[in-house]
Structure 1
Amino acid sequence: MSSRSAPAPDPASLRARLDRARRVAADAGTDALLIAPGSDLRYLLGQAGGSFERLTTLVLPADGSPPALVLPRLEAPGYAAVPTDDLGVELVTWVDGDDPYRLVADRLGSPGRVAVSDTMVALHVLALRRALPGAEQRLAGPVLRELRMRKDAAEIAALRKAGEAIDRVHARMGEWLRPGRTEAQVGADIAAAIVAEGHTEAEFVIVGSGPHGASPHHDVSDRVIERGDVVVVDIGGPIPEGYNSDSTRTYAVGEPRDADVADTYAVLQRAQRAAVEAVRPGVSAGHIDDVARGIIAEAGLGEYFIHRTGHGIGLDVHEEPYVMGGNDLPLEQGMAFSVEPGIYQPGRWGARIEDIVVVTTDGAEPLNNRPHELVVLDS
């Protein structure tokens, strides 16, 4: 993990997020949100914290009552950067031997419905259920995604910065991707470069060479890269602001050995380009998937496109909206997501092209700008 510190949170924008979260929760018939450490907490308070066996949760009543951050006293220094006074958030600390769940219950009284973070661990979910026996529990995800799906200008700027940083890593691929090296060796070099180019860490590094490229979520292995291999490289991670990059390009180490690579890859390029061009406000997320999938299917390769076309991105690498068949969610300005069709030939090779795009007033702004052609590296 890099030692770079995250930028200080902006109290005005955080307060606006807290106010919006209250309103959306109230509109959904929820009396309070209970937000555990993680990306939702970072979105609302500017600090993600950590999830441990001791309860930490933001208690956000929907009726306008003061919110509270209930946390172990020993963890309080980790939240020193949170502008609690500006936000009107009370710090409620506890020590071992206290009952933190009762502290939450005492603040809420007798709520009818409470929404807990989607990622809150069962240890705390069940203990809160016992402390609030009259409250129906539901997930906070439907409330928070209404806020987080639509990025503001600062969030888009952070995603743009992340996209530029990961593009710089892809631009250096020729330094590492050579015959005779293992996927793991290449992956280690890429991970170091991800940090060197401005990320706090390498969240994931996929180097899928030859037949491994046909597995979309392959990691790295001890397979030795050979001349003629097609190699899928999917990489990303967070920048100090917390927002993530995610970009895939496909490379060939020398001229590809398989005769069908050029024609198949050309189909993939058309599908990815058409899907990006289809993005605009008002069309559904499912329509973007239909566009990419239709082109690949028309070429007789539909069975080899085995995942959704994209996923939202922000403080999490995967978040709403999901670009997949049947998703009727209308796209709106400020939504950010990947467009990443792939074609995977089992046991032979695979290819994927992935850009992050942001919905604009009349189309899409790609945040990745490396070439989409199959990059043939000198071997």
Structure 2
Amino acid sequence: MQLPQDKPQKKDIPVIEEEDFEDRHNAARRVMAANGIDLLILSGSVNLYYFSGIEVPAKDRLFAMFLPKEGDPFFICPGFEKASVLEKIKYGSGNIRTWEEYEDPFALSASILRSRNLGNKTIGIDEGMPFWYFSRFKKSLPYANFTDANQITNKLRSIKSGKEIALIRRASEISLQVHKIAFSSLFEGMTEHDINRIYHEAHEKLGASNVWGGASFGPASSFVHGTQQTFVLREGMVILADSGGAVDHYTSDISRTITFGSPPEKVRAAWEVARKAQLAGIEAIRPGVTCESVDLAIRKVIEDSGWLPSYKYLRHRAGHGIGLEVHEPPYLVEGNKTPLEENMVVSFDGAIYFEGEFGIRLEDNIRVTEDGCEIFGDQLATSIETPLG
């Protein structure tokens, strides 16, 4: 394995700054007003990070952000955690209310909301919040009308800002480079553990964090997300590589499929269909097209090639949004009539699986543009021998 020797340059990587969080709050308030929501409660989720820049998992002690339609946001925080929170939070640190171990943080939250005339209003609840949090809020605020905050959070997070797009693009470029490094490091007798280590080390060397994924060999590639079985690389085996890493929390998700040595004819034929399916999805991408249309365009290629029904061979949705999470809205799946919008960023596959034999997946990260799409990294697979353009 030959990893790059120089540390990645960071001077051209955009930074999510205070004004970006302020823009997110103002955008949320506009959507809240349009949907009759007076307050958002965010806790234990990626949405909390999106609006504040702090990651605090949901545990036994409540940490929450309250974003009203009018007025400043505030936080509820365990008293002994305040100093560490102030070190980590990127926006909104001017209004943190603490609670002590002998106090009920949900009752305290309700008291603060009532003092702001929000105790009997419509409150949007973060989908990432544990149910018992919601249950305690509901008990403490019996006159409030609770609703799903997804109509706010999903809408805002699915349309990326210029900085978010740049971060995902950089993460994608890194992952493409890592695929190249990994494929140049193959040897007979290699284990999946060996190649997975390459994926993790190379991503980190190039400046990515939160690295996930790796590669599956032979029959393991027929499992969409791998298997507990382990295989050693031999001549003619399929290698399905699916990996990503994050740049300032914004991640990539890129898949490539090759063979070690010459591909069997069935593998080559399936690979070509997968490539045509991915190209059909790319051709379908543009503003106004529904999410399901992309999924159906990909499936049509598979079925027109004689492999039907398509769900026997492509057993999962064709794609998904990508950003702070590897999988996030919008989801490119039959039945989802959400229209695509400019600056949505999605990842989708041309994929085919033959259970117990092998699987093919070609996946890239793509931005919806004014009249089509931008393919991050611009290295679409062109043949099974040239998986990176």
TM-score (norm 1): 0.91
What secondary structure, in the 3-state scheme, does the structure 1 residue paired with 2:242 have?
A: strand
Is residue 2:24 matched to residue 1:23? no
Q: Deviations over 1:123-152 (max 9, x none)?
A: 312211211122233222221111111101
**What residue number does 1:78 align with?**
85
**What residue number does 2:253 align with?**
246
**For residue 272 of structure 2, what is the amino acid of its counterpart?**
A
What secondary structure, in the 3-state scheme, does the structure 2 residue paired with 1:118 have?
A: coil
The runs of 5 or more residues in structure 2 that have no matched partner are 1-9
**8 Å CA contact 1:182, 1:221 repeated in 2:** no
Is residue 2:384 matched to residue 1:374? yes
What secondary structure, in the 3-state scheme, does the structure 2 residue paired with 1:354 have?
A: strand
Q: CA deviation at 1:311?
A: 0.3
Q: CA deviation at 1:79?
A: 3.8
**What residue number does 2:136 align with?**
127
2:97 to 74, 84, 92: 92
Is residue 2:228 matched to residue 1:223? no
**What residue number does 2:301 align with?**
295
Q: CA deviation at 1:264?
A: 1.6
**8 Å CA contact 1:250, 1:375 repeated in 2:** no
What secondary structure, in the 3-state scheme, does the structure 1 residue paired with 2:195 have?
A: helix
**8 Å CA contact 1:247, 1:354 repeated in 2:** yes
**What is the rounded CA distance, in whole Å, between the counterparts of 1:140 and 1:316 in structure 2?**
17
**What is the rounded CA distance, in whole Å, between the counterparts of 1:205 and 1:289 in structure 2?**
24
Is residue 2:121 matched to residue 1:112? yes
Is residue 2:373 matched to residue 1:364? yes
The runs of 5 or more residues in structure 1 that have no matched partner are none
**8 Å CA contact 2:14, 2:166 repeated in 1:** no
Q: CA deviation at 1:9?
A: 4.0
**8 Å CA contact 1:70, 1:104 repeated in 2:** yes
What secondary structure, in the 3-state scheme, does the structure 2 residue paired with 1:48 have?
A: coil
1:236 to 240, 244, 257: 244
**What residue number does 1:328 align with?**
337
2:180 to 158, 167, 171: 171
TM-score (norm 2): 0.89
**What residue number does 1:259 align with?**
265
Q: CA deviation at 1:237?
A: 2.2
**What residue number does 1:272 align with?**
278
Distance 1:254 1:73, change over 3 A: same
What secondary structure, in the 3-state scheme, does the structure 1 residue paired with 2:67 have?
A: strand
Distance 1:79 1:310, change over 3 A: farther
**What is the rounded CA distance, in whole Å, between the counterparts of 1:355 and 1:312 in structure 2?**
11
Q: Deviations over 1:294-333 (max 9, x none)?
A: 0111001223111111100011111111111121111111
**What is the rounded CA distance, in whole Å, between the counterparts of 1:34 and 1:58 in structure 2?**
6
1:141 to 150, 158, 168: 150
**What is the rounded CA distance, in whole Å, between the counterparts of 2:375 and 2:227 in structure 1?**
26
Aligned length: 367
User: Which deviates the most, 220-229 or 33-42?
Assistant: 220-229
Q: Deviations over 1:241-281 (max 9, x none)?
A: 2100110000101112x321112211111110121122111
**8 Å CA contact 2:219, 2:357 repeated in 1:** yes
**8 Å CA contact 1:59, 1:104 repeated in 2:** no
Is residue 2:20 matched to residue 1:10? no
**What residue number does 1:210 align with?**
218
> C-alpha root-mean-square deviation of aligned residues, in Å?
2.1
Percentage identity across paired residues of the two chains: 31
Distance 1:290 1:335, change over 3 A: same
**For residue 129 of structure 2, what is the amino acid of its counterpart?**
M
**For residue 244 of structure 2, what is the amino acid of its counterpart?**
G
**What is the rounded CA distance, in whole Å, between the counterparts of 1:98 and 1:175 in structure 2?**
59
What secondary structure, in the 3-state scheme, does the structure 1 residue paired with 2:231 have?
A: coil
**8 Å CA contact 1:207, 1:219 repeated in 2:** no
Is residue 2:20 matched to residue 1:33? no
